[in-house]
A = this chain, B = another copy of it.
Amino acid sequence: MTSRHPLSALRILPYLAKWTLLAALVAAASGSASALFLWALELATATRISHPWLIWLLPVAGWLVSWVYLKVGTQVEAGNNLLIDEIHDPRKVVPLRMAPLVLGATVISHLFGASVGREGTAVQMGGSLADQLTHLFRLRHEERRIVLMAGISAGFASVFGTPLAGAIFALEVLAIGRLRYDAIFPCMLAAILADQVCMAWGIQHSHYAAGALPAISAWSLLAVLLAGLAFGLTAWLFASSTHALTALLKRYLPYAPLRALAGGVVLALAVYMLGQRYIGLGIPVMMEAFQQPLPWWDSAGKLAFTVASLGSGYKGGEVTPLFFIGATLGNALAPLLQLPFGMLAALGFVAVFAGAANTPLACTIMAIELFGPQLGPYAALACVMAYLCSGHSGIYRAQTVAVHKHRMGPPEA
């Protein structure tokens, strides 16, 4: 395995040259796609806000998108899970059409007022664009895995402006309890470059401020562990409800466009009664969650709207709604735990997502990238607690369980 030849370490140079080129291509494609997507998303959100009646067209839009997927998208319908499956067991190149389909479908979700996110879209665009290099460079199975992971990394990094979190996310999301390093170089490089490409297109990311933090004390640590428990249970509730509603609707409404229609009607009526607070990305409410007390039911409201949207088949992603749910839940917990709103909102922002996606390290690093290193120890505890308390079935059902979260096995199980 090892070699004592003085320059044996240099045997890696061809590997580095090849993957630098591939990562740069992945980053260029994926970063540009994210930029286009974020620009379209902003336009769609602004249009929805200035034309509130658009919500009444949501059922029709949902029907249409579902119908299009049924006609030309059944192969790519599984989305993130398809990518994870292909990385675990490489079979067939992901069709390029995944990118325009998910891009169009997500922009429509946001234009007409579903409650969905954007990471799923960015990751799917990144993955499917990256996989097109498979034919071009005649990549082998094992290389396809790496290029797909680089695509996920680039998509995530560029859509949120968090390069290190994107790279770690791609390495971490495949299996619960284990992180493998075989794609670490392509993922890191693709993430950093894709983030730069996206910003070079003029995209600016939202900034949230966690504000001043209390000094670490026995109470502040215990409070963060308790908050992490709440974040983890919320993540569990979110993932289980989404899976349960999806399964239920599939049983009673086997025709997909009908599910989107029904979900759209329910969402439109809910918006009619409760207002626009819980649809779209919800960035203004998230901003408020860092600053001032909000109604305690905000996280429950967003959870219900998002589960309804995803369960009835609207495209987008889970992550930005999870940020919203976490930030508002943190906001509600802050007075109970006697800690600042900004701190708890920031912890909830990353930790509910950490629990739902089973990615505690990516989310800890995201906390540092978004809110600064002072939050690091608190974020690590909150994310690890949420990860431990969210059960073994997260939002990605293709994710495997490599190491049980708390039942201990032999060293090398």
Within 8 A of B (CB), among A169-217: 176-182, 184-185, 188-189, 192-193, 195-196, 216
Q: In the complex, A236 Cα to B128 Cα: how many Å?
A: 38
B87 contacts A411, CB within 8 Å?
yes
Chain A, residues 387-413, CB within 8 Å of chain B (1/0): the string is: 111111100000001111110111110
Q: Does A42 contact B (CB under 8 A)?
A: no
Q: Does A100 contact B (CB under 8 A)?
A: no
From B145, B192, B216, give the contact of A216 (CB < 8 A). Answer: B192
B408 contacts A142, CB within 8 Å?
yes
A409 contacts B142, CB within 8 Å?
yes
A385 partner residues in chain B, CB cutoff 8 A = 16, 185
Q: In the complex, A80 Cα to B371 Cα: how many Å?
A: 35
A390 contacts B143, CB within 8 Å?
no
Q: Does A240 contact B (CB under 8 A)?
A: yes
Residue of B nearest to A217 (CB): B196
Q: In the complex, A351 Cα to B117 Cα: how many Å?
A: 36
A108 partner residues in chain B, CB cutoff 8 A = none
Chain A, residues 78-111, CB within 8 Å of chain B (1/0): the string is: 0000000001111000000000000000000000
A377 partner residues in chain B, CB cutoff 8 A = 163-164, 192, 195
Chain A interface, number of residues (Cβ within 8 angstroms): 79
B403 contacts A180, CB within 8 Å?
yes
A392 contacts B1, CB within 8 Å?
yes
Q: Does A279 contact B (CB under 8 A)?
A: no
Q: In the complex, A92 Cα to B384 Cα: how many Å?
A: 30
A189 partner residues in chain B, CB cutoff 8 A = 381
From B88, B185, B361, B408, give the contact of A411 (CB < 8 A). Answer: B88
From B4, B177, B181, B410, give the contact of A181 (CB < 8 A). Answer: B177
A408 contacts B182, CB within 8 Å?
yes
Q: Does A225 contact B (CB under 8 A)?
A: yes
Q: Does A369 contact B (CB under 8 A)?
A: yes
Known contacts A9-B232, A388-B12, A406-B15; is-contact A240 B179 (Cβ 8 Å): no
A180 contacts B177, CB within 8 Å?
yes
A192 contacts B167, CB within 8 Å?
no
Q: Identify the interface centre among A4, A163, A411: most chain B CB within 10 Å of its CB.
A: A411
Q: In the complex, A306 Cα to B408 Cα: how many Å?
A: 40
A389 partner residues in chain B, CB cutoff 8 A = 9-10, 12
Q: Does A328 contact B (CB under 8 A)?
A: no
A167 contacts B406, CB within 8 Å?
no
Chain A, residues 368-391, CB within 8 Å of chain B (1/0): the string is: 110011001100110011011111
